[in-house]
Amino acid sequence: MISDWKRPDSIPFPTIWHRFKGQKTMSNGELPNFWVQDMPEDLYEVAIELMQKHFMKDEPLSRFSKAIDNPVCVGEWRELLNNVFKDRLALVCFMENPDTNKKPIIAGLNITTVARKNEKPPQSVSKQGRKVGQIAKFLSKMKDPFETLGVNEYLTAYGLLVLPEFRGQNLGSGQSIGA
């Protein structure tokens, strides 16, 4: 699914949107520094792997449907993420690496995209993917975001992931990962 939304040229890519301190001390006894930024293209495959490894195992609908055990469902998920990344809206939360000579450490991901009124949701072949789609459709009928917000498009997310070792750092709060 690629929307016809286009990121304005006036917004640099990638942009760092927020910096903050964690809430739990690390093994070195210090509170870690984090930042949230647009996900650079060179991390797309890493993000897909992390979402497959952690999100598909931990997110309730995926976990209880055993989505990770169905190669077709996993393939659909990977394809969906690849398409969503093309909008350049996904976010990554990095922790500053205590070893300043090394790259920052990925702590979390927020797979955001634009939802448009009357846009058809992704279609799934897998049983698990169809079930998730049915649940999403049911929930949106209960409280239609387009009607509630009075808009024709809004920012939505296909998944928020905080890696297990960073849970409890408050990464998924409104103060941190892209909210």
d(CA 130, CA 128): 5
Summarised one tens digit per residue, pLDDT across range 109-138 is 999 999 888 888 778 888 888 888 788 778
The pLDDT score that the predictor gives to residue 53 is 94
Summarised one tens digit per residue, pLDDT across range 22-71 is 999 988 888 999 999 999 999 999 999 999 999 999 988 888 888 889 89
- Domains for the chain: give ranges and CATH numbers: 16-166 (3.40.630.30)
pLDDT at 3 over 70: no
List of residues 6+ apart from 57 with CB closer than 8 A: 63, 68
Q: Which tokens in the block code for residue 83?
A: 């398409």
Three-state DSSP class for residue 138: helix
User: What's the pTM?
Assistant: 0.86
